[in-house]
Amino acid sequence: MKVYLSQDAAAKALGSEAVAAALKEALGDTPLTRVGSRGMVWLEPLLEIDRGQGREAWGPVAPGDIPAILAGDIPSLGLTEEIPFLAKQTRLTFQRCGIIDPLDLAQYEAHGGLAGLRRALGLSGEQMIDEMKASGLRGRGGAGFPTGIKWDTVRMAHADQKYIVCNADEGDSGTFADRMIMEGDPFCLIEGMAIAGLCTGATQGYVYTRSEYPDAVAVMRRAIELARAAGVLGGDVLGSGRAFDMEVRVGAGAYVCGEETSLLNSLEGKRGVVRAKPPLPALEGFLGRPTVVNNVISLATVPVIFEKGAAHYADFGLGRSRGTIPVQIAGNVKHGGLFETAFGMSLGDLVEEIGGGTASGRPVKAVQIGGPLGAYFGREKFDTPFGYEEFDGQGGLIGHAGVVVFDDSADMLGMARFAMEFCAVESCGKCTPCRIGAVRGVETLDRIKAGDGAAVEVLTDLCEVMKDGSLCALGGFTPYPVLSALEAFPEEFGQVKEAAE
């Protein structure tokens, strides 16, 4: 009998450590394997037992349930892989998450790990770039910029030192994919960064994450030690004679440090403020050297591309959005969690079929996609397929693929005000449209709430200035939630809703 229990931070928050203590007492000499999360947060703490016919699931489990579960008196939810939420997924990036011990390198290899790195070691930098471009992988942190082009820019740059920086500063509300990978499959991120280093000529990498992720920091640091001891990192990567090493750096949690140039300033020990572009970080990044800055999911997807081939990865998706996207479903939703799927599934299917509708049982009113700076989509946009261009065409953005659900009790003017207030609090202060505009936005929305209908025109003008004049996406994207709420729910702003044509 093999027993598995999640040690993901979400599981811990829901009581997994008390369950683990009860299990260890009841199991005696039978080992308990701690794993990452399967991504079904509403079932955490999730217990899995394999008696030879596959892993069966129980959840959410309380410590008092353990004796009855082990005695066979509480039926399981069935085989874990057959739970509909999991069975409908296409798991590529998250293929090992929740399955293996995150810090067991042998298990990682047994489940396909390091195959991509070994293949990459046999390719030239140019061949690796061709593979990345053919895969169609785009930045999963929000911008959606083609990863292969960014890597090629760094590869072609001339410098005595180059760097790979992983942006793990996951600050968007309703997002947890980066944390899940770092806690549940850290070697995958390490392998992806090593491949990026080999491709571009970078020999040093940094994972920049936030102090709010202590478990992820501890797991990543231990995984790096184990990888270095096994020769995956260091001066002789897998006996190739080529060097790549990395370390974890922890920031204080400023939202703006999710923006790549603010992150680089923070990484250098400076104040986390936005840098003007050009120069691009790919040419003058960390310490003024050519630097690849990629999100956790972008880098953690690289190993499967090299393991299975670019064509295999690019075979999934829609239009210019190739591969899979780990959608994080959160907010007022019945089945919250991480759902990795090929681009193309409609927003409505993700919310209603996969997410199960609202946790409150009330009708869905709106969904915010892409974090606190993402647009609100009402039900009339639920047919929109999940894809970069498709969302852009509807006035939205995918961002880090966080989906936050609101029921019909949500105050949309209040949510618009929150977006402006959030921007005002989190602004680094470097540019006027963001620093002053967000404060004026809060004041203007308060005027609208007090019944000043004329202030709506002021609000739309202000949003245009912030969009066009802000130095980075913090001020530039704050108008998305504000204007989308105004467009979808004008009556809550004292406006008359126009009849659909």
How many other CB atoms sit within 10 Å of the CB of residue 280? Answer: 18
Q: Once rounded to an integer, what is the mean pLDDT over residues 346-361?
A: 96
Distance from C-alpha of 117 to C-alpha of 115, rounded to nearest angstrom: 6
Do 419 and 387 sit in the same domain of this protein?
Answer: no
Helix axes 147-156, 186-200, angle to 10 degrees: 50
Do 323 and 290 sit in the same domain of this protein?
Answer: no
161, 289 contact by CB (below 8 A) = yes
407, 332 contact by CB (below 8 A) = yes
Do 446 and 467 sit in the same domain of this protein?
Answer: yes
Range of the domain at 242: 105-314
Do 78 and 201 sit in the same domain of this protein?
Answer: no
Residue 498 lies in a domain: no
Q: Mean pLDDT in the chain?
A: 95
pLDDT at 349: 96
Q: For 462-481, how does the pLDDT look when each residue is reduced to its tens digit (9 = 90+)?
A: 999 999 999 988 888 899 99
Q: How many domains does the chain have?
A: 4
End-to-end CA distance of the chain: give it in Å, rounded.
Answer: 62
How many other CB atoms sit within 10 Å of the CB of residue 31? Answer: 9
pLDDT at 142: 75
pLDDT at 321: 94
Q: Once rounded to an integer, what is the mean pLDDT over residues 203-215?
A: 96
Q: The whole model's pTM is what?
A: 0.94
Do 343 and 295 sit in the same domain of this protein?
Answer: no
- Top-ranked range on mean pLDDT: pick from 94-108, 426-440, 463-477: 94-108
Question: Which of 347, 377, 407 is where one domain is finished?
Answer: 407
Q: Which residues pair with 3 in a beta bridge?
A: 32, 49
> Does 233 have pLDDT greater than 70?
yes
Do 189 and 281 sit in the same domain of this protein?
Answer: yes
DSSP string, 403-461: EEEEETT--HHHHHHHHHHHHHHH--S-SHHHHTHHHHHHHHHHHHHTT-TTHHHHHHH
Plot region of 114 (φ>0 → left; ψ -120 to 50 → alpha; else → beta):
left
pLDDT at 173: 86
Do 432 and 347 sit in the same domain of this protein?
Answer: no
pLDDT at 496: 67
pLDDT at 498: 63
Residue 210 lies in a domain: yes
Question: Which of 297, 314, 331 is where one domain is finished?
Answer: 314
Residue 236 lies in a domain: yes
Question: Which of 280, 314, 348 is where one domain is finished?
Answer: 314
Q: For 50-68, how does the pLDDT look when each residue is reduced to its tens digit (9 = 90+)?
A: 999 999 999 999 999 999 9
pLDDT at 497: 66
Q: For 237-274, how does the pLDDT look when each residue is reduced to its tens digit (9 = 90+)?
A: 999 999 999 999 999 888 889 899 999 999 999 999 99
CATH number at residue 309: 3.40.50.11540
pLDDT at 143: 76
Residue 499 lies in a domain: no
The amino acid that residue 261 corresponds to is T
Residue 93 lies in a domain: no
> Does 500 have pLDDT greater than 60?
no
Helix axes 437-449, 412-426, angle to 10 degrees: 160
DSSP-derived 3-state class of residue 140? coil
DSSP-derived 3-state class of residue 376? strand
Please say whether the dihedral angle defined by the alpha carbons of residues 95, 98, 102 and 108, taken in this order, is positive or negative: negative
Distance from C-alpha of 218 to C-alpha of 248, rounded to nearest angstrom: 9
DSSP-derived 3-state class of residue 99? coil
Q: For 107-157, how does the pLDDT look when each residue is reduced to its tens digit (9 = 90+)?
A: 999 999 999 999 999 999 999 999 999 999 999 887 789 999 999 999 999
pLDDT at 485: 93
Distance from C-alpha of 256 to C-alpha of 451, rounded to nearest angstrom: 33
Do 155 and 243 sit in the same domain of this protein?
Answer: yes
CATH number at residue 79: 3.40.30.10
> Does 164 have pLDDT greater than 60?
yes
The amino acid that residue 436 corresponds to is I
pLDDT at 296: 97
The residue written with tokens 């209603």 in the block is 352
Plot region of 174 (φ>0 → left; ψ -120 to 50 → alpha; else → beta):
left
Residue 95 lies in a domain: no
> Does 381 have pLDDT greater than 80?
yes
Residue 501 lies in a domain: no
Strands 163-168 and 364-369, how do they pair? Answer: unpaired
pLDDT at 304: 98
Do 197 and 292 sit in the same domain of this protein?
Answer: yes
Helix or strand (DSSP H, E) at 195: helix 186-200
Largest Cα span, the chain: 72
